[in-house]
Amino acid sequence: MSTSFTDSYNKDFILNTMMGPNAMRITEEMANFLPIYPGMRVLDLGCGMGISSILLAEKYNMTVFAADLWISPSENAKRFANLGLDSKIFPLSVDATKEIPFAHEYFDMIISVDSYQYFGGNEVMLPKLMPFIKKGGFIAVAVPGFTQDFPEGQLPEEVQPYWTPEWYFYSCGWWRALWEKEPCVAITVLREMNSCKQAWDDWLQSSNPYAQRDIAMMEAGAGKYFNIIQMIGQKV
Ligand SMILES: C[S@@+](CC[C@H](N)C(=O)[O-])C[C@H]1O[C@@H](n2cnc3c(N)ncnc32)[C@H](O)[C@@H]1O
């Protein structure tokens, strides 16, 4: 069995740069569903510390615009330069809820891993982003979610003590209904990802205080209601 790029990558580096379930692993699975070619120009929106961008640049030789709100581009620039990737990954500060600072029809693809839930769970974001993608290009999103919809106030007891509204966890059906409202996008894939458990297990090994906090939640059994939802749409 061949080892994945993620499994052969420097484990300490990934553990120190993860900000949630292992985004490099998730991106590597998602890439199997995308038409990928060297030199593709990609916007990695909500890249955090950039492990998804690193995978796209290193494994697939893409040109990546690594945009994030919470992590400074100066910090990311140092990280990318230390890896020799400064001519392939361009870090910048972007708040997706504000003006998007790019030319229209500029990107072959917009990718967003474990971040779209913070700004994209509404009817505004998808139509706002589509003009920046070339005709026939793709938007590829992976978000943590729930395996089903839970009526308000009826979360499973394993989840209740830990849940906050800032999770923005929804089901596949919830996301599908939202994306189907946007006529400029044809959904090509919307599925639960196979790497969910491994991506969460990787995260729990991180010394990040949020990861350490999540250990009790997963030990309580909340994880059986979690999935990672992959949504890919093509601009029509
Ligand atoms: C849980 S972290 C995940 C980061 C990275 N994708 C990863 O998986 O390691 C969520 C990311 O979403 C980004 N984010 C949240 N709101 C955003 C917004 N309005 N515009 C751009 N990025 C945003 C944050 O800056 C943060 O880095």
Which strands form 41-45's sheet, in the order they lie side by side? 89-93, 63-68, 41-45, 107-113, 133-146, 226-235, 185-192
Residue having the nearest C-alpha atom to atom 10 of ligand 1: 115
What's the confidence (pLDDT) of residue 8? 98
- CA nearest to 136, candidates 32, 25, 37, 229: 37
| pLDDT band, very low/low/confident/very high, at 1 (cuts 50, 70, 90) | low
Query: Residue 124 is which amino acid?
Result: V
What's the confidence (pLDDT) of residue 87? 98
Q: What is the Cα gyration radius of the chain?
A: 17
- CA nearest to 202, candidates 58, 29, 25: 25
* Nearest ligand 1 atom to alpha carbon 113: 6
Percent of the chain with pLDDT over 70: 100
Ligand 1 centre distance from Cα of residue 1 (Å): 33
Residue having the nearest C-alpha atom to atom 14 of ligand 1: 46
* Nearest ligand 1 atom to alpha carbon 69: 25
Ligand 1 centre distance from Cα of residue 92 (Å): 13
Q: How many domains does the chain have?
A: 1
Ligand 1 centre distance from Cα of residue 95 (Å): 9
Ligand 1 pocket by C-beta < 6 Å: which residues?
A: 18-20, 23, 46-48, 51-52, 68-71, 94-97, 113-115, 118-119
Over residues 172-200, the mean pLDDT reads 98
Query: pLDDT, tens digit, for every residue of 24-77?
Result: 999 999 999 999 998 899 999 999 999 999 999 999 999 999 999 999 999 999
Tell me the DSSP string of 20-62.
SS-HHHHHHHHHTTS---TT-EEEEET-TTSHHHHHHHHHH--
Query: Residue 128 sits in which domain range?
Result: 5-235
What's the confidence (pLDDT) of residue 126? 98
Residue having the nearest C-alpha atom to atom 13 of ligand 1: 46
Pocket mutation for ligand 1, best pick of 56, 69, 110 (most atoms within 8 Å of C-beta)? 69
What's the confidence (pLDDT) of residue 39? 87
Query: pLDDT, tens digit, for every residue of 101-148?
Result: 999 999 999 999 999 999 999 999 999 999 999 999 999 999 999 999
- CA nearest to 4, candidates 62, 59, 63, 44: 59
Which CATH number fits the domain that encloses residue 19? 3.40.50.150
Count the helices and strands in the chain (H runs, E runs): 10, 7
* Nearest ligand 1 atom to alpha carbon 47: 6
What's the confidence (pLDDT) of residue 226? 98
| H helices present in the chain, as ranges | 5-8, 11-17, 23-31, 51-60, 73-82, 116-119, 125-129, 172-179, 196-204, 209-219
Ligand 1 centre distance from Cα of residue 198 (Å): 20
Query: pLDDT, tens digit, for every residue of 202-223?
Result: 999 999 999 999 999 999 999 9
- With a CB cutoff of 8 Å and minimum separation 6, the contacts of 163 are 155
In the DSSP assignment, the letter for residue 4 is: P
Query: Residue 98 is which amino acid?
Result: K
Please list the residues that pair with 139 across neighbouring strands. 110, 233
